Amino acid sequence: MNSTSELGLYINGNWRRGEGRDNHKVINPATGAAIADLPLATPADLDEALEATARGFAHWRTVDVNERAAILHKVAGLIRERAEDIAVLLTTEQGKPLAEARTEVLSCASQFDYFAEEAKRSYGRVLVRPTGQRALVLKQPVGPVAAFSPWNFPVNLMCKKMAAALAAGCSIIAKPPEETPFCTSAIMQCVIDGGVPGAVAQLVYGVPDMVSRHLIASPVIRKVSFTGSVPVGKHLLKLAADGVKRTTMELGGHAPVLVFDDCDLEKAIKLSSTQKFRNAGQVCISPTRFYVQEGIYDRFVAGFAEATKKVQVGNGLDDGTIMGPLANDRRPPAIERLVRDATDKGAKLLTGGERGDGGYFYQPTVLADVPMTADIMTDEPFGPVALIRPFKDFDEAITQANRLPFGLAAYAFTENARQANLVADALDTGMVGLNSFVISMPDAPFGGVKESGFGSEGGPEGLDSYYVTKAVHQY
Ligand code: NAD
């Protein structure tokens, strides 16, 4: 993983290597060392990709859905075959422990398999008129897609977009993050080797603002899919509005967890303290604001802090590592600022609160009695920090949970089935986990409400976002 020549852009069926292009330094976040130079797309590269994607779409939309599905299944098989190698690349450039990287890579294969099959069942409707006439409602692929995905789940989030778009018959230009090009390029090689034509799926890296402006401004692009922060999502929405383009926006979150007196406390502590530190908390659905009912508050806080002290931090490639470094040099100072602000305002620091040595490490951190005035109660920390506060009753818990402009994921722990249903109904989010944090799978819609975005990825809803409908009236 140290050869510049390994990295490139995949445009119009060819890998383009350095060849005088500007570069981005790829860093191993566990050491801070530069491991490669990534060539960045020029406007001419993007123009070539746009011309190819228009051609690719004209072809791919006419390929029988069963043939498309067979190709996508082949891609899934190749990802499974190469999963171990791709997982090592992912850990080396992103930081997450190898076990998490393996799970992420395998989830990509599941997405290709799922959307391959689901697209076969994308039927339209027939409207039967008493006069013997018929109207048909057809689903057709929306057109060439520009897809922007972030560095926290670099392969999973790229594949969510790519698998659904390709299954629906769209062509796609993917721009995964510049921080993690080895793993995304390795997935792209599976897409190529599986038989997706070169003009149909393309891969570019570049200066994000230049690439997104250039692609979205082109009349060729008919759909924009973005996963990332709320401010960037709003910016891309404005760009897309100029061309009245379809968009799917999966933006930030600040997930509340409501822990009721009647929960299985041991389970709530175990799952919470495990999930909080998955991918070092750099997860849009990461459990973050723990609201715990007064009767069990002290026990929950003590148990959570104890469990957190046992989380082993280290290089994701080392055996026994439970939490790796943060993914890039922007995260440690951002977390440090938020934690300092909270403790200055009176939050109790139970464990963590410091950076680690070398690389971009930050200790797993638990803050209790966090004042509402702390910035971290409002700003998404996107890091390994748990915030714990007590609540009295159901109404207070729901008010607190729904307080922010975010509405992505929320969780609740209660053994009372009726209460669980009432909580699920009242939470103003796109996803709810009851007694579990497992809410992302290929067949379920994944997405938020309010400023967390709109549209779904995953499930039939995710596939639908790559179709337009056409009504054909026969007389
Ligand atoms: P950022 O807001 O600059 O970037 C977020 C993502 O958007 C990155 O992947 C980046 O490459 C991309 N991006 C930035 N500007 C873009 C543009 N003009 N056009 C297209 N893509 C663009 O910040 P960051 O430091 O990378 O991440 C910080 C915050 O972003 C986090 O605190 C978190 O809130 C959010 N984030 C969310 C997710 C998610 O899964 N929803 C993933 C990564 C980051």
Condensed to tens digits (0 to 9), the pLDDT of residues 386-441 reads: 999 999 999 999 999 999 999 999 999 999 999 999 999 999 999 999 999 999 99
As assigned by CATH, the class of the 255-434 domain is alpha beta
pLDDT for the residue numbered 133: 95
9-251+452-474: CATH topology: Aldehyde Dehydrogenase; Chain A, domain 1 (3.40.605)
Query: Exposed/middle/buried for 186, CB within 10 Å: 0-12, 13-18, 19+?
Result: buried
pLDDT, position 357: 87
| pLDDT value of position 265 | 98
**Closest C-alpha to 436, from 413, 402, 407:** 413
Tell me which of 108, 284, 451, 457 is the catalytic residue: 284
pLDDT computed for residue 2 by the predictor: 43
Name the packing angle between helices 181-194 and 65-81 (round to 10°): 130
Query: pLDDT digits over 101-139, tens only?
Result: 999 999 999 999 999 999 999 999 999 999 999 999 999
Mean pLDDT of the chain: 97
Helix or strand (DSSP H, E) at 198 = none
Predicted pLDDT at 81: 98
CA 63 to chain centre: 29
Residue 331 CA: nearest ligand 1 atom is 25
Q: Can you tell me which atom of ligand 1 is nearest the CA of 330?
A: 25
Q: Catalytic annotation on 354? A: no
Which residue ranges in the chain fall short of pLDDT 50?
Answer: 2-5
pTM score over 0.80: yes
Does residue 330 line the site of ligand 1, with CB under 6 A?
yes
Map out the domains of the chain as residue ranges.
Answer: 9-251+452-474, 255-434
Question: Exactly one of 250, 380, 451, 457 is catalytic; which is it?
Answer: 250
CA of 406 to the centre of ligand 1 (A): 16
Pull the structure tokens for residue 448. 């938020």
